[in-house]
A = this chain, B = another copy of it.
Amino acid sequence: MDLVFLGTSSGTPTRARNVTGLALQEDAGKAWYLIDCGEGTQHRLLRMPLSLHDLRAIFITHVHGDHCYGLPGLLASAGMMGRRHPLEIIAPAGIADWLQATLRMSHAWLGYELAFHAVESLGEWRSLNMRVAATALSHRVPCYGYSFTEARPDPRLNIERLERDGVPRGPLWGQLARGFDLEHEGRTLRSEDYLSFTRAPRRVVIGGDNDRPPLLAEACRGAQVLVHEATYSQTLVETSGNTFGHSSAAQVAAFAQQAEVPNLVLTHFSARYQPGSQRGHSIEEIRQEAATAYHGQLFLARDFLRLRLGKDGVLHEVEPT
């Protein structure tokens, strides 16, 4: 599983960081998921090996513009590139109405179907290889984190049962192994009845904007990676006296340490943390503060960063090819 950071700035873009967008790519095949879609996300994709044809679903954490204003343009471009298969969007209910109104206003014809799911009543969303659950967070507007869990980690066919049930060896076995349910001689054969999994599923938890990281405690159980905003340093929060519904690096780090998540990726940094900032704020403030409280593997996201989570649960940076 790869995480590809498309935007790591909070609120407004800077020259180095775009507003929020994050791709999660299945390691098998090219299917990927987009979590948040700030303005300019489609521009970032032009520079990455991620095609809008292979985009499986979009998850939006909340309605603030820096997390969703890129949706109409990205959807329109997918249509112009010839996408024809449906696209699922999991988002706060208000996003669906706004997107439809936007496409109508601009006379956009997508050429493919959009299927909306309101995150408020999501339960679990599933694709062939991924199960996704939402967790309500705490922000100035309703906001959700998404936990991505592998649905079928290294599946193995239960041959004994296949033979007992009289399923003939051949293509049917292959389809069941790839996760497809089948109709066969008037019976429904359910893939999951014939598969067992040979290792624990990988899990990545992606927080939205959130000033109470412990709300993700349950989601983080068994997770190898937590991606969470750290908009400010705690020092800055204490000076300004306002968090605007965001977390400080110290706060997230303390939670991740307590939750025993082995990998923590911080992102969504205030625009004041810029290379060569005139105002004397360096992203190293964030790193140092987090490293003091958190002793697992710490990453500070930057645009175009690709992190790979191996089947062994180890997370490491992958250089662009």
Contacts and interface: CB of A to CB of B under 8 A. Distances in A.
Interface stretch (A66-74, A130-138, A287-295): A66-74
A66 B105 CA distance: 13
A11 B73 CA distance: 9
A13 B46 contact: yes
A106 interface: yes
Contacts of A102: 65, 69, 98, 102
Copies in the complex: 2
Interface stretch (A75-83, A112-120, A230-238): A75-83
B63 A105 contact: yes
A39 interface: yes
A14 interface: yes
A98 B98 CA distance: 9
Contacts of A46: 13-15
B63 A106 contact: yes
A269 to B, nearest CB: 15
Contacts of A164: none
A42 interface: yes
Given A13-B46, A18-B43, A72 B80 contact: no
B42 A81 contact: no
Interface in A1-58: 11-15, 18-19, 38-40, 42-43, 46-47
A169 interface: no
B73 A72 contact: no
Nearest to A64: B106
